[in-house]
Structure 1
Amino acid sequence: MATEAEVGELLHRRGWRTAFTLADRVDAWAELVSSVERGYPDDIDEFTNDLYCRTWIHQAWILLDEDLVQLWTPRIEALDLRYRAVTVYDDGLALEQFHRVPGPDLWWWRRHPRVLAGDLGRALRAAGAVGTDPDDGRPPD
C-alpha cells in the first residue's frame, strides 16, 4: 500500500488535474455535503464537477496504506451518511441527462439533492427529478 503523497502522485499521473491530498478531497467532500444540506447554489456543471472529489477518494482508497484508511474511515462514512440523508436515489437518471454517470459502485453519482434549489434544481426538475422546492418545503405535486 502507498502513502498519501504517493497516491496523490499516482492518481495525478492517471489523469487527475493535480496531486491532491486525502485531506483536500475529504474537505471538498465535506464542503459539497454541507452545500447540498443548505440547498446547492450552483449549476449542474459545478455539481457534477464537485462530485469528483468523492470519486477521487474512492480511487485512492484501494491504494492507501491501511493505517490511513482506518484513520479517515469514520469521517468519510459520516459524510456519506449525511449526503445520503439529503439526497434522493434515482439510479443517476436525472444526472445522466447532463453527464455520463460512472459505474454502479460510485453510488454518489446515482443520487441528487432532495431540495432542488437554484439552477441545479431547475435543471434536475427538467430532467425528471423529484424533490422538494426550497421556497415552500413541501414535496412537488
Structure 2
Amino acid sequence: MADKSSAGPSAGFDEEFSRLFLEAGWQRPIKPAEALRRWEDFAEDCLAGFPWDVDDYNNDLTLRTRLAEILPALEAEGHGAARHLLEKMEAADSRAREVLTCESFPDFPEDRWWLRRTPAYASRKFCADFRETYGIEMNSRSLFDDDLDEMIRLNSTCLSIPEVLIHVRDEGLYVSARSGLLFRSFREAFPDVRRMRKLVSGWISGDVGDSELRSGFIQH
C-alpha cells in the first residue's frame, strides 16, 4: 500500500482520525493536533501537580487510550502522519511517566500503563477527590496550590482581587500559563465573588482591560 503521506501533509488523515474518534464514542470531532496538545498538556499538568478534577483526569486517560487504538490502525492503512504523531505522543508519554509511578490499578494490562498507574503527587483538591472516589492516597504537591496560596496571601495583605490577578499575570506565575488555569485559580482563591466570574473571564480572554477589571470590582 502506498504511503498516503506522499499525497500531502494530511491526505485525509485528519478526517479519518476524527471519524474514528467519533465512532469510538468521542462527543465531538477532534483533530490530531488538538489531541496531541491535550496529551502534552496532561503530561505537563502531571509534572506540575495535576490541578484539575478527577473527571478531567479520566477524560485525558480515555483520550490516550483512543490514541493507542486508532493511531496504529491508521499507520497500518498507510497514513504516514500517524507515525509522526505517535513519535510526538511518545515524547509526552515519557514526561507523564515521570509522575505516573504508582501501580494502583494492576488489573489493566502492562501496555496500558496510563490506566494502571496514578500520580505520585497532585494538587490538594485532586488528591482529596481521588481518595474519596478510589480510596487511593497520593502526596499533595502542586505548583497550582503554591500559586493559589500566594494569591490568597496577597489578598490578605490588602491587595485587591484585580491587583492580585494582574500581579499573577505580570509575574508569570504557573497559573497564568493557560487561561483555564488562571480562571480556576481565581475561582478557588476567591469563591465568594461568583458574580465577578464573567468579568474575570473576559479579562483573561483579553476582551476586558486592566482598568475595566479594576472598575468592575469597585462598582460591585
Counterpart pick for 1:128 among 113, 117, 136 = 136
* Aligned partner of residue 36 in structure 2, secondary structure: helix
CA RMSD of aligned residues (A): 2.4
Does residue 86 in structure 1 map to residue 99 in structure 2?
yes
Stretches of 4+ aligned residues off by more than 2 angstroms: 1-4, 123-126
TM-score, with length taken from structure 1: 0.74
Uncovered stretches (5+) of structure 1, i.e. residues with no partner: 94-100, 136-141
Percent of aligned positions with the same letter in both sequences?
A: 24
Give the letter aligned to residue 117 of structure 1. S
Other-structure match for 2:187: none
Which is higher, the Rg of structure 1 or of structure 2?
2
* Aligned partner of residue 112 in structure 1, secondary structure: strand
Does residue 19 in structure 1 map to residue 19 in structure 2?
no
Does residue 49 in structure 1 map to residue 49 in structure 2?
no
For 1:46-125, what aligned pairs fall within 5 Å after superposition? 46-64=56-74, 65-92=78-105, 103-104=108-109, 105-125=111-131
Does 1 or 2 have the higher relative contact order (CA < 8 Å, sep 6+)?
1
Check whether the contact 1:33–1:83 (CA below 8 A) recurs between aligned residues.
yes
TM-score, with length taken from structure 2: 0.50
Distance in 1 (alpha carbons) for counterparts of 2:39 and 2:57: 12
Cα drift, residue 4 of structure 1: 3.0
Give aligned pairs, total.
126
Cα drift, residue 89 of structure 1: 3.0
Uncovered stretches (5+) of structure 2, i.e. residues with no partner: 5-11, 143-220
Q: Deviations over 1:108-141 (max 9, x none)?
A: 1111111132222123345133x43317xxxxxx
Give the letter aligned to residue 96 of structure 2. Y
Distance in 2 (alpha carbons) for counterparts of 1:14 and 1:123: 28
Q: Which has the higher helix share?
A: 2
Counterpart pick for 1:6 among 13, 16, 21 = 16
Give the letter aligned to residue 28 of structure 1. R
Give the letter aligned to residue 82 of structure 1. R
